[in-house]
Amino acid sequence: MDGFRNITSGTCPENRFRAQLGTTDHHPLALHLLQLETGRFCRSSKVLLRPRTSQEVAHILRYCHERNLAVSPQGGNTGMVGGSTPVFDEIIVSTALMNQIVSFHNVSGVLVCQAGCVLEELSRYVEERGFVMPLDLGAKGSCHIGGNVATNAGGLRFLRYGSLRGTVLGLEVVLADGTILNCLTSLRKDNTGYDLKQLFIGSEGTLGVITAVSILCPPKPSAVNVAFLGCPGFAEVLQTFCTCRGMLGEILSAFEFMDAECMKLVGRHLRLACPVQESPFYVLIETSGSRAGHDAEKLSGFLEQVLGSGLVTDGTLAADQRRAKMLWALRERITEALSRDGYVYKYDLSLPLDRLYDLVSDLRARLGLHAKHVVGYGHLGDGNLHLNVTAEAFSPSLLGTLEPYVYEWVTRQRGSVSAEHGLGFKKKDVLGYSKPPEALQLMQQLKALLDPKGILNPYKTLPTRT
Ligand SMILES: Cc1cc2nc3c(=O)[nH]c(=O)nc-3n(C[C@H](O)[C@H](O)[C@H](O)COP(=O)(O)OP(=O)(O)OC[C@H]3O[C@@H](n4cnc5c(N)ncnc54)[C@H](O)[C@@H]3O)c2cc1C
């Protein structure tokens, strides 16, 4: 912390940013090209601070606030929209050293920990005590719980345990001026005034730095089954989902889907073999319950039904944990396979289930040979499509064919242009597709109230032009 005193104050970084662009506004393409100059996202900060305590975070923010120094909060840096990386010269405040578990209550399942705890380590900790974390995602080995809360991450257990907006019980947050806001309650019920923690869940580091989290962990299911199925069409995927919900009910914990293009890419780039007959679509189903025999009986009844009715053409059940992990890897490693295929245009969308895949087919026809691959996969059970387009390299003309077309398509279906990844730097200017002007205005007012000098994650989440 000593070196911290030597950081030069000076002009607000935002002013320098504007000077560099030669404009008082940010042209989306200029910013996009800027991203490409230095890699996936711009990283030009000269200062990385790694506080260990909330008091140290408060000290840093107080210092930065007094001197108009912009700050970029950073967790595991696994975010998909460039929220945690500096755009210009923001000071990075990393939670990497804030990795202490404060308490765990083995009756209520309430875990209280610092924001920098890695999700996978928390999972291991609570699983040893007979509980699970209410969220799980492909980036679990690196992402921090503070980053998860700041992005309101969805992930693979959303279908079963719901949003972090329900499972996070309390937060400790350091505000832009260094004030420590201690709302770290462990109560399930607390209707005293406004629920302030909700403001910070999903605020992507623009309203405060989350320093500690209190979260409700459900009991660990003693029987987990994973099935991987091939479906002949998307209509059959939807029918399989309906049948699954009806027949598996409370034990259904995940319903994920991927198309044949995804399978081709995980095969080509990661050498993962398809475990079932080649099909246009694949579905991964997970059940989590407390009685193995009861769950197996339900699952085999369901499989008999979907295979017999032609909804599913082929399927496999994981006989042990190793095999279950292999099946999950096919779904969880799609992001990795895509990044090895070339430049990736990524869209994380919420859509009505019956139109969910139409956008993928539509874009495939629209882009033709201009794209290498147009793929669709995601958390079908949550109505969440990950639409990805790969190309040899970034091309402004391909971007122009994709945007605003994709956003307008989603808006016509009353969907969301960011289902779970947030807006960060990459998507901030598309917020207006999913929220009315009145909501945008209120968001700007809240930002001005909590961070009047705009030092927390400038250029992120809220649009440049409203
Ligand atoms: C392979 C892979 C799979 C993924 N799967 C999913 C998925 O299924 N579902 C999903 O929702 N996301 C997914 N993601 C995206 C990403 O992992 C999540 O957004 C995750 O929650 C980010 O956590 P992080 O600690 O890495 O945060 P970072 O990337 O470091 O930061 C993300 C944002 O939160 C802010 N932030 C971070 N820490 C704090 C803090 N303590 N206080 C205030 N603001 C903070 C940052 O400024 C930034 O705006 C995936 C990513 C990868 C690479």
> Contact 72/457 with Cβ under 8 angstroms?
yes
34 band by pLDDT with thresholds 50, 70 and 90 = very low
Longest dimension (CA), the chain: 71
* Single-letter residue type at 394: F
- Cα–Cα distances in Å, from 334 out to 193, 252, 265, 269, 463? 43, 22, 8, 10, 30
Estimate to the nearest angstrom the gap between the alpha carbon of 169 and the chain centroid. Answer: 20
DSSP per-residue letters across 135-166: ---TTTTT-BHHHHHHHT---TTHHHH--HHH
95 lines ligand 1 (CB under 6 A): yes
Which of ligand 1's atoms lies nearest the C-alpha of 72? 47
Say whether pTM exceeds 0.85. yes
Pocket test residue of 113, 119, 148, 151 for ligand 1, highest count of atoms within 8 A of CB: 151
Q: Is the CB of 137 under 6 A from ligand 1?
A: yes
Say if residues 402 and 60 touch (Cβ distance below 8 Å): no
Indicate left, alpha or beta for 243 from its phi (over 0: left) and psi (-120 to 50: alpha): alpha
Residue 46 clears pLDDT 50, i.e. is over it: yes
For CA atoms 454, 460, 461, 463, the dihedral sign is positive
Nearest CA to ligand 1 atom 39: 147
Residue type, 273: A
Amino acid at site 49:
L
Residue with CA nearest ligand 1 atom 23? 147
Checking if the pLDDT of 33 tops 70, the result is no
SS3 category, 64: helix
Report residue 357 as tokens: 């895949």
- Render pLDDT for 154-210 as a digit per residue (tens, 0 to 9): 999 999 999 999 999 999 999 999 999 999 999 999 999 999 999 999 999 999 999
- Rounded-to-integer distance, Cα 106 and Cα 432, Å: 44
Strand stretches in 232-358, DSSP E: 252-259, 281-289, 314-317, 343-350
CA distance from start to end of the chain: 38
Q: What are phi and psi of 352, to 5 degrees?
A: -60, 140
pLDDT in tens, 223-277: 999 999 999 999 999 999 999 999 998 899 999 999 999 999 999 999 999 999 9
Element housing 376 (H / E): strand 373-379
Atom 46 of ligand 1 has which residue's CA nearest to it? 84
* Residue 311, ligand 1, Cβ within 6 A: no
Which residue's alpha carbon is nearest to atom 27 within ligand 1? 147
> What domains are there in the chain, each with its CATH number?
2-96 (3.30.43.10), 101-216 (3.30.465.10), 223-331 (3.30.70.2190), 342-422 (3.30.70.2740)
Coil, helix or strand at residue 416: strand
pLDDT digits (tens, 9 = 90+) for 108-122: 999 999 999 999 999
Query: Amino acid letter at 149?
Result: V
How far is ligand 1, taken at its centre, from the CA of residue 419, in Å? 13
pLDDT of residue 112: 98
